[in-house]
């Protein structure tokens, strides 16, 4: 029980770090250009994770280069670049919710890419998430932040594609170290953002204690410590439980943005956020139910050769 509670506490802390980081990133963009911040966050984060690997004596050897590089382009270049661009004009809370539609896009992409059809609670989950997206995007009354919302939604889709590649990679190379995969994909994905930081026009950086704190928060806490917490929790909890607890992240993002930035979503946006949250909760519950069913069906076979009294 003690190990389980510590793992749950690690996940809650991780959700708090990643949830509050939406506010941290939004505030930091007042002092630094989007691509400059993205370059610092990702390249610095990659170096920090590499340093963590040295401390933990994990192998630094690069394996599965093509897949890792493609994952980096989607997960780091695409996902991180898009959310930071979305935060330039969009609200932190709304961006967090739209980005965390990632499980919905995984479900959509798994159909043509992996042959996994929707079943059970995935159907109402998909319907609720799609309805929530439409309410927030509100295509009948296009507002000034439509581009920001589309960027955030596209970021969730990029994240989902990276997850699909990671799934295939784990099947092809099950011994691949997760921390090593994270560090290398972050490194490769950071390089286009570093290049964009040099060529994309941006005002001079306003160096301050606030900006320095935001960079440290992103590099050390939201990357190195966050991945350490995630790996610690995954070793002690099921993937379904971990996914359900991680849904706290966008909730904390919305609450932190309302408290610190004064963001107040309108009625349609609130309803849309609730529908997306309900859809993701249904999806996590379905995954947890399926895992438990698989464990129940596998127990008799596993115990058939045991000692009988």
**Closest listed residue to residue 81, CA positions, set 97, 99, 64:** 99
Tell me what pLDDT residue 220 has: 94
The beta strand positions in the chain, using DSSP E, are none
CA dist., res. 249 & res. 187, Å (int): 24
Residues in the chain where the model's pLDDT stays below 50: 299-309
Closest to 249 (Cα-Cα) out of 121, 99, 136: 99
Report the alpha-carbon distance of residue 160 to residue 100 in Å, rounded.
10
Q: Angle formed by the axes of helices 178-199 and 81-89, to 10°?
A: 50
Cα 57–Cα 166–Cα 38 angle in degrees, nearest 5: 75
Residue 220 CB contacts under 8 Å (≥ 6 apart), including other chains? 48
Average pLDDT, the chain: 85
- Rounded to an integer, what is the distance from CA 108 to the centroid of its chain? 17
Furthest-apart CA atoms within the chain: distance in Å: 77
The candidate with the shortest Cα–Cα distance to 178, out of 259, 40, 71, is: 71
Instruction: Measure Cα distances from 129 to 16, 49, 153, 211, 280 in Å.
Output: 23, 33, 12, 35, 7
- 276-281-286 Cα angle (round to 5): 130
CA distance 98 to 127: 15
Which pLDDT belongs to residue 168? 86
Task: Return the pLDDT at 48.
Answer: 94
Neighbours of 32 (CB within 10 A): 24
What is the per-residue pLDDT for 87?
Answer: 96
d(CA 226, CA 246): 12
Q: What's residue 144's pLDDT?
A: 55
The total of other beta-carbon atoms located within 10 Å of residue 28's CB is: 26
Q: What pLDDT digit, counting tens, does each position of 240-283 carry?
A: 666 767 788 998 999 999 999 999 888 888 888 888 888 888 87
CA-wise closest residue to 202 among 78, 90, 35: 35
Distance of CA 60 to the CA centre of its chain: 24
């Amino acid at each position: 029980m003690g190990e389980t509670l510590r793992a749950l506490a690690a996940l809650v802390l991780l959700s708090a770090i990643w949830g509050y980081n939406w506010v941290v990133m939004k505030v930091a963009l007042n002092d630094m250009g989007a691509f400059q911040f993205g370059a610092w966050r990702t390249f610095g984060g990659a170096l920090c994770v590499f340093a963590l690997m040295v401390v933990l004596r994990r192998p630094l050897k690069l394996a599965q280069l093509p897949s890792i590089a493609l994952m980096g382009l989607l997960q780091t270049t695409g996902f991180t670049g898009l959310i930071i661009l979305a935060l330039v004009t969009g609200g932190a809370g709304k961006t967090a919710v739209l980005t965390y539609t990632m499980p919905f896009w995984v479900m959509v992409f798994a159909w043509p890419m992996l042959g996994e059809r929707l079943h059970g609670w995935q159907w109402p989950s998909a319907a609720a998430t799609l309805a929530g997206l439409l309410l927030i995007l509100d295509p009948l009354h296009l507002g000034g932040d439509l581009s920001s919302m589309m960027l955030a939604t596209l970021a969730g889709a990029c994240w989902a594609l990276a997850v699909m590649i990671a799934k295939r990679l784990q099947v092809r190379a099950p011994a691949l170290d997760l921390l090593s995969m994270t560090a290398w994909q972050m490194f490769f994905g950071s390089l286009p953002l570093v290049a964009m930081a040099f060529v994309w026009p941006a005002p001079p950086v306003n160096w301050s204690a606030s900006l320095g704190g935001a960079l440290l928060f992103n590099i050390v806490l939201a990357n190195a410590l966050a991945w350490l917490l995630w790996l610690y929790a995954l070793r002690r909890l099921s993937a379904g439980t971990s996914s359900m607890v991680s849904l706290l992240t966008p909730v904390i993002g919305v609450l932190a943005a309302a408290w610190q930035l004064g963001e107040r979503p309108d009625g349609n946006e609130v309803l849309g956020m609730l529908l997306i949250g309900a859809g993701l909760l249904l999806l996590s519950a379905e995954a947890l139910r399926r895992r438990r069913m698989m464990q129940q069906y596998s127990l008799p076979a596993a115990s058939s050769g045991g000692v009988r009294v």
